[in-house]
Structure formats: structure tokens, C-alpha cells
Amino acid sequence: MAATHTIGIDLGGTNIKGGVCDADLRLVAQHAIPTEAERGVEHVLTRMAGLVDELRRRANLRRDEIAGVGVGAPGPMSHAEGIIHSAPNLPGWVKVPLRDRLTRLTTMTVVLENDANAAAFGEYAAGAGQGVRDMVMLTLGTGIGGGIVLDGKLWRGRFDNAGEIGHMVIVPDGRPCPCGQRGCLERYASANAVAERLREAVQAGESSVLQALVTAGTPFDARDVVAALERGDRLAARIWDETCAYLALSVVNIQHLLNPELVVFAGGLINAGARLLDPIGRHFERLSWKIAPDAPRIAFATLGTDAGTIGAAALARGG
């Protein structure tokens, strides 16, 4: 009998999450363990192999009932070679042949994918993107990740780095980015950037209900900015509206470059709900062209933190 289940692994600097998906990409078992990255590459690989076995046991499946294992991992990599070039938050992970090492440890077929790509494919296959052929996803978190699905397939690009939408330059010679560029989208519209831009505005003399936090050097985040605008804070409202305009501009650029049917937003910022989606829509209408009816639909992701696990499991089927 043909194997009908796949395992998805979401490798992070703090935790390794995993799940078993059936033929319909429904999660039938899940488990997570600490990464323990400080103990080195081989230790983490052994823990990943152990997690695969634990997931199989929890799903009550034999090895021959598992068609493959998909791994979503952070950092630049070669999908074709199965090698992680460099992984942030994973000390010592340089030129790691994860696919081949994990294949030997598990005796299963392993597919390696960038974690943002895996999450995007999960949303495409089992979440907000069901029923479409072309979709782009932006994950709005500490930075901005992205993933592109064209004609039902992940678009990785010649060097396996396609989908780095957070590093689309939207302000020429703008804010410096750790990537080495200036003016990247994630320096203006990520969750971190929202709080940082408000803090800088207060330090420059603008008033805000968050001024006491800024003066005291107390950390705050985008949720505090949203709470401030809900209290009528004019600075918070301006920063937030600018953020939505930057995101709308990114959708306009995506529209003209790839012409997808759907653009999906994921990550912590979407917890703002209509306060995020509605102004993005208004700014998109203002900024986009009117000469052709090719505007993508804009929506929120639906799988939450399971997107990467489900996407990795889906890619283990050859997605």
C-alpha cells in the first residue's frame, strides 16, 4: 500500500516543531522540543531525527507509511543541494548538509526548504490560498519574510533566494538594513520597525501617550502602538497609516512583477485585524493603476503557527 502521510519539521533557534499530515494535509499528530542549538549541529540533527520518530509513534504509523520528511529551516540555503549556507540563531550552522545528514539518521526521504517558503506553501496548499494557482505571502514579524507560489509551484529563483520580499527597496537610500541595503520594506513595515519608528519620532520631539515608555527606555512593540492609536494617539495613528501605505506599495509592486491572484499577509501584525487590512486596501486602491482589472485579492493567512509545519509536510510530497 502506498505511503499516505508526510512529516513536516519547522526548525527554529529556540524550538523544533513537527507534525504528521495525512493525504489531505490534515495534522494528525504534533509535537515540539527545545532546539538546544548551543550544543552544536550534530546534537540538533540528532534531536530532529528523534522528533521524527516520536511523531511517527504519536500518529501510530509504520516507517513505510511515511512518504517523506520536509524541513523548513531559516537562512540562505540551496534547496537543490539540501545545504544550509548560514542559519541565524543556530550557532555554527555554516554549509550544513542537512538533507543528506537527516536522510541517513532517519532512513527517510528528506526535502529541505527555506522556512518562509514552507509557510507560504502551507497557506497555499491548506490555508488561505486553497483554490488559487498564483499566490504571494508576506510574513510580518520581527522582520518580513516572503514566499511565492506560481502555477502551483514554489518559485525559488536561480539562486534559491526568490521571495525575499522584506528586502524589496521601497525608500531609495532609506533606513539601513542589516542585510547591507538601505530602504528595505522590513525596515519600515515589520513589527519591530513600527515600534522603532514611533520611538524615534518621540525622541525627535513628537508627543505620544507612549512617551513615558520611550523616556524610560522601556521596551514596547507594535501591539502597544496599535493600543495607542485606539486611544486616539495621533503619532501612533500616523506611524500605523504609513506602515499600511508601505505594505500597500509592496502589493502594487508585486502586482506588476508577478500578477498573482492573491497576496496573503501573515505574522504577528495581522492580529490587528481590520485595522491593518482595511487601510492597506485603501492605500492599494489609491496607489495602483486603473488601466487594467488585474488587482490581486488581499487576505490574511489562516493557518497561524502551523503553516510552516504543514507546508514542509506538503513539500515532502514533491510540491
Does the structure show a pLDDT above 80 at 2? Answer: no
The amino acid occupying position 77 is M
| Strand, coil or helix: 183 | coil
Using N-to-C axis directions, what is the helix angle for 234-258 and 191-203, rounded to 10°?
140
β-strands 83-86, 77-78: how paired? antiparallel
Q: Could you tell me which of 90, 109, 83, 1 has the C-alpha nearest to residue 47?
A: 90
Does the structure show a pLDDT above 60 at 1? Answer: no
| Strand, coil or helix: 246 | helix
- Model pLDDT for residues 15-38, shown as the tens digit of each residue: 999 999 999 999 999 999 999 999
DSSP β-bridge partners for residue 13: none
- Model pLDDT for residues 55-107, shown as the tens digit of each residue: 999 999 999 999 999 999 998 899 999 999 988 789 999 999 999 999 999 99
Residue 87 is predicted with a pLDDT of 86
Q: What is the mean pLDDT of residues 264-292?
A: 97
Residue 61 is predicted with a pLDDT of 95
Place of cell 518559485: 155
Domain limits, CATH 3.30.420.40, in the chain: 5-124+306-315, 131-302
CB-based burial label for 79 (10 Å; 0-12, 13-18, 19+): middle
Are 10 and 52 in contact by the 8 Å Cβ rule? The answer is no
Does domain 131-302 sit in CATH 3.60.140.10? no
Instruction: Report residue 319's pLDDT band, with 50, 70 and 90 as the boundaries.
Output: low
257 Cβ neighbours under 8 A, 6+ residues apart = none
Q: How far apart are CA 244 and CA 91, in angstroms?
A: 35
Residue 190 is predicted with a pLDDT of 96
CA-atom Rg of the chain in angstroms:
21
- Model pLDDT for residues 95-112, shown as the tens digit of each residue: 999 999 999 999 999 999
CATH code of the domain made up of 5-124+306-315: 3.30.420.40
- CB-based contacts of 169-175 (< 8 A; 24+ apart in sequence): 170/246, 170/249, 170/250, 170/253
Residue 119 is predicted with a pLDDT of 97
Q: How far apart are CA 48 and CA 50, in angstroms?
A: 5
Task: State the average pLDDT for the chain.
Answer: 96
β-strands 262-266, 135-140: how paired? parallel
Are 173 and 222 in contact by the 8 Å Cβ rule? The answer is no
- Model pLDDT for residues 193-240, shown as the tens digit of each residue: 999 999 999 999 999 999 999 999 999 999 999 999 999 999 999 999
Cell output for 308: 510552516
The structure's pTM equals: 0.93
Give percent of the chain above pLDDT 90: 93
Residue 75 is predicted with a pLDDT of 85
